[in-house]
Chain A
Amino acid sequence: MALPKYIQQSVFTPSEIEFISEYEQITILPLQRMEAITLLEGTYGPFRPPLTIKVPLWLAVTLKKKHKCSIQPPKWLNIETLKKKKQREEENEKEFSDLPTHYFEISSVLLDSASDDIPYSDEIKILLKDIREIRRRKTKKGLELLNSNYIQLDNLGLMEINEIRPFFSKAFNDMRKLEEILPRFQDSQASQTYSMASSSNRY
C-alpha cells in the first residue's frame, strides 16, 4: 500500500512488453561477412552474406541500423495474409483470428526500423491498424456479455491483453463482490467453481 505506484502495479508497461517480444527469432540476410558475435546470453553468427540466419529481433534491428543486414519479414507480415486475417476478423464476430502473440509489438518495431525491407509497408500499416480496431471492438463487446466466472480471450496478443488487464481484472473482482450477495449465488455456492481462463494469463 505504501509502495510507490510503479512497483504496486500488476501490469507491464508497453515498453516492457516490447522488450519481451524482442527475443523472438527473425530471419536476416547479412550484407557483409562478419565473425560470430559472442555475447553473455549466446553466440550469434558467423554471418556469411548469401546465407540467411536466424537472430533475435533486437540484434536484427541493431544490425539493420548499422546497415549490416536486411530483415526478412515474418511469414504473416505481408499484405495478402493480413488482408485474409482482416476478412476473417470481420466475418467471425466471436473469435479472434490467429495472429502470433507478439504480432503487435513485432510489426511496430519492424515498421519503425526496417520499413524499406517490407514491401507495401504503408498498406500494411493501415491493415494492421484496421485489424487492431476490429479486435478492440470485439473485446469491448465481450465485456458486455461477461459474467464473473469466465472469459474467453483466445488468440489475443500479449500487448492487447496487457492493455485491458487492469480494467478487466478490477471489473471482474468488483463484479464478484457484488455477486456474492446475490441470493441465487448463495444457494448455488457449493456447486460454483471459478475460473478465469485466458490463453495468455501466464504473463
Chain B
Amino acid sequence: MADGTFDDYEDNYFDLDSILSEQQKLSVSFTVDVPGLGFLENNPGGSLHSGEKVLLPFWAMSCLTLISSPDNEPIIDIVNPKCFGNQCLNQLIAGPTTVHLYQLCPYFYQFGCNLLKTTEDSKNISSILFETFKKRISLIMDYSEQIQITRDKAEFVRGLDEMERQLYKCGCESIISMKKWVNREYGTLKIARSLNKSRLIL
C-alpha cells in the first residue's frame, strides 16, 4: 500500500486537480490535547482540547493519521464528510444520474479515493463510487455527442464533478473535430506566410 501511494504521489505531483482535491476540508476531532494548536478553536496560544471538532484540509489530516498516541491509539477521529454521508450515498444508489455531484464536492471521486486510502471503508463507499461512475459514463458520452442543449442536458452537465467534466470535454472535442473533417473545414496544406513574404522580396 505504501508503495502504491508513493507512485500516485509521483504521478500527480504537478497535477493541479490532484492538489485541489487534497484541499477539501474535513471535520476532525483530536483524542488528545494538542499544545500550541489552540488558534484552531479561537484560543490562540493555548492548547487544543481533545474532542473539539475542527476543520482540517485533507492533506493535513492524512499526515495526522500516521501519528499515534502513547497507548497506540490514533490521535484523531474523522467524521465522514457530508458528501459521503448516509443521505448522499442513498441518493447515489437510488439515482446515480440525478445527483448534483459538483455541488456535493467539486472533486468528488478523487476526494473519495483519497479518503478511502487513509480511512476505513465502513459503508461500502468504494463500490458505490464505482457503480455511480459506471452508470454516469454512458450518459456523459451520449450528451457529449449531442450538439443542441436541452434542459436535461444542461442540468446534468452542471452536476458533473471535475473528473467527469474533463471526460465530457474530451468527448465534445473529438466530436467537433470529426464534424469539421466531414464538412471539409480543415482546408489544405498551405505555405507559411513568412516563407511567402521572403519569396516576394527575392
In the complex, the answer to whether A166 meets B113 with C-beta atoms within 8 Å is: no
What distance in Å separates the Cβ of A192 from its nearest Cβ neighbour in chain B? 14
How far apart are the CA atoms of A144 and B141 in the complex, in Å?
Answer: 10
What distance in Å separates the Cβ of A5 from its nearest Cβ neighbour in chain B? 9
How far apart are the CA atoms of A181 and B137 in the complex, in Å?
Answer: 19
Question: A183 on the interface (CB 8 Å rule)?
Answer: yes
What distance in Å separates the Cβ of B32 from its nearest Cβ neighbour in chain A? 29
Of residues 79 to 130 in A, which have CB atoms within 8 Å of B's CB atoms? 108, 112
Of residues 120 to 166 in A, which have CB atoms within 8 Å of B's CB atoms? 140, 143-144, 146, 162-166
List, in ascending order, chain B residues with CB within 8 A of A175's CB.
130, 133-134, 137
In the complex, the answer to whether B138 meets A182 with C-beta atoms within 8 Å is: no
In the complex, the answer to whether A15 meets B181 with C-beta atoms within 8 Å is: yes
List, in ascending order, chain B residues with CB within 8 A of A166's CB.
170-171, 173-174
From B181, which residue of chain A is reached at the shortest CB distance?
Answer: A14
Question: B180 on the interface (CB 8 Å rule)?
Answer: yes
List, in ascending order, chain B residues with CB within 8 A of A14's CB.
177-178, 180-181, 186
Chain B interface size range: 20 to 34
Contact with A along B122-142 (1 / 0, CB 8 A): 000011011001100110011
What distance in Å separates the Cβ of B80 from its nearest Cβ neighbour in chain A? 15
How far apart are the CA atoms of A180 and B114 in the complex, in Å?
Answer: 11
List, in ascending order, chain B residues with CB within 8 A of A18's CB.
181
List, in ascending order, chain A residues with CB within 8 A of B170's CB.
166-167, 170
Of residues 162 to 181 in B, which have CB atoms within 8 Å of A's CB atoms? 163, 166-167, 170-171, 173-175, 177-178, 180-181
Judged by DSSP, the binding face of A is helix
How far apart are the CA atoms of A108 and B177 in the complex, in Å?
Answer: 16
Chain A interface size range: 20 to 34
List, in ascending order, chain A residues with CB within 8 A of B177's CB.
13-14
In the complex, the answer to whether A181 meets B174 with C-beta atoms within 8 Å is: no
Question: B77 on the interface (CB 8 Å rule)?
Answer: no
How far apart are the CA atoms of A181 and B4 in the complex, in Å?
Answer: 11
Question: A24 on the interface (CB 8 Å rule)?
Answer: no
In the complex, the answer to whether B121 meets A170 with C-beta atoms within 8 Å is: no
From A184, which residue of chain B is reached at the shortest CB distance?
Answer: B127
In the complex, the answer to whether B178 meets A170 with C-beta atoms within 8 Å is: no
How far apart are the CA atoms of A14 and B177 in the complex, in Å?
Answer: 7
What distance in Å separates the Cβ of B19 from its nearest Cβ neighbour in chain A? 13
Apart from A163-B174, A166-B173, A180-B113, what are 8 other A-B pairs with CB-CB below 8 Å? A143-B138, A144-B138, A146-B134, A167-B141, A170-B167, A171-B137, A181-B116, A181-B121
